Chains A and B, each alone.
Chain A
């Protein structure tokens, strides 16, 4: 199978203790990998290792010519900064050397009106802000999208809309999607494979195999309710 990403024996140490040890998996081009696991299991750390932001052992091999769009879980910026969504998009477009047309197209794809993008980022709602970050990630024609908890802080109808939009964008651009999520119902519905990170048992495979009540209890240390869409 044609792989967008191959990870072998990945070990990440935070302080003295390894958070992730000898992790190996691969992601097929155009597929969706959902990464789940309890807080502190190293999901965001794994993303940061994949983009080369933290030191690690083992190998992370992206397919030749991979361009990554990254949507972080949260931004460490003050809410009262006079930085608009447009400022962020223009900055990304300038760095990625992409055109205004591509920026407009990205806004269109994520259903964010241009007038909303012209507002300071601190005044945007959770859903609008996530759309803005996704639009920024789409500038530069990425082949892979990394999305860290896309629906954190968003109400339930908003979550559903956001996931639908993400998958619409994925189909439109034939993107490979790596997604950290706690929404097991959504993961069950959209993911090609699921990687469950846990200090105890670690698992990898299709949702039908990985998202069983017993496996989830082992991964999270507690039973979790979710909707299976068979």
Chain B
């Protein structure tokens, strides 16, 4: 399989995972938290570079730890997820900016797809497939938990466990996309397609389908356009996604 085909597969897999996770992020009203979540990777990248480790290892570890921290604090304090993520992850951005410097920081913030190694591509595809599979398999438990935790609980759903798995899936989705889109833009690929789908769809199935379609379309079209014009792909992908969102506004479903 050629490197180019693998890169296309990675883009599509990441976009599918982001589109699926994004729907539940939007339903949970965690849109802003999505951006903040991606920031927690920065101190991980900084620490990894300081110890001569691969930046993805640091980013992934920091995101998983961040998700566990948010889950634990939410359960102990009762403060909303969005508030906790806002505080914890903005703090992480401040620490990360001090730890990562120069070119590393720019790569971390905006991504560097051209520098992806073979194992990174493989791990990204497998990880994104795992996250997408989790969302599809757990979607009924997620819907019940999000609509009413108490209804879910009486139906036998382990609400705390589902919430933790969702946060981890969310964190991993961001982690897989970081090297590709960067800290600043990965959160946008989670949110914009789902936000577009939210106002076009009439059911959850439609929302998932539209969100994935918009995410994949934005990613692939963004890469082609960026390649033709000689721009970095990350910002172009998000501009395409944002353009699709704006174009969809006149098509808003009539309520």
A residues with CB within 8 A of B: 48, 51-53, 68-70, 72, 75-78, 80-84, 86-88, 90-92, 94-96, 118, 120, 122-123, 133, 136-137, 140, 146
Q: How far is the CA of A133 from the CA of B154 in the complex (A)?
A: 13
Nearest CB in chain B: distance from A116 CB, A: 14
- In the complex, the answer to whether A70 meets B255 with C-beta atoms within 8 Å is no
Nearest CB in chain B: distance from A186 CB, A: 23
Q: Is B120 an interface residue (CB 8 A)?
A: no
Instruction: Say whether, besides A51-B153, A140-B155, A87 and B204 are in contact (CB < 8 Å).
Output: yes
Q: How far is the CA of A3 from the CA of B197 in the complex (A)?
A: 49
For chain B, the bracket of interface size reads 20 to 34
- In the complex, the answer to whether A72 meets B155 with C-beta atoms within 8 Å is no
5 closest A-B pairs by beta carbon, nearest first, are A82-B201, A94-B140, A91-B140, A91-B143, A70-B154
Contact of A80 among B143, B151, B255 (CB under 8 A): B255
Q: How far is the CA of A52 from the CA of B153 in the complex (A)?
A: 8
- In the complex, the answer to whether A83 meets B203 with C-beta atoms within 8 Å is yes
Instruction: Say whether, besides A70-B154, A77-B146, A82 and B206 are in contact (CB < 8 Å).
Output: yes
Q: Is B54 an interface residue (CB 8 A)?
A: no
Most chain-B Cβ atoms within 10 A of its Cβ — which of A83, A94, A118?
Answer: A83
- In the complex, the answer to whether A53 meets B203 with C-beta atoms within 8 Å is no
Identify 15 residue pairs between A and B in the complex whose beta-carbon atoms are under 8 Å apart, listed by A's number: A51-B153, A53-B153, A78-B27, A78-B29, A80-B199, A81-B198, A82-B204, A82-B206, A83-B147, A84-B202, A87-B143, A87-B205, A92-B144, A95-B140, A120-B202
| Chain B residues near A96 (CB-CB < 8 A) | 155-156
Q: How far is the CA of A140 from the CA of B206 in the complex (A)?
A: 26
- In the complex, the answer to whether A69 meets B147 with C-beta atoms within 8 Å is no
- In the complex, the answer to whether A95 meets B150 with C-beta atoms within 8 Å is no
Contact of B144 among A76, A80, A91, A120 (CB under 8 A): A91
Closest to A90 in B: B140
Contact of A72 among B139, B151, B156 (CB under 8 A): B151
| Chain A residues near B27 (CB-CB < 8 A) | 77-78, 81, 83
Q: How far is the CA of A65 from the CA of B144 in the complex (A)?
A: 22
Closest to A47 in B: B150
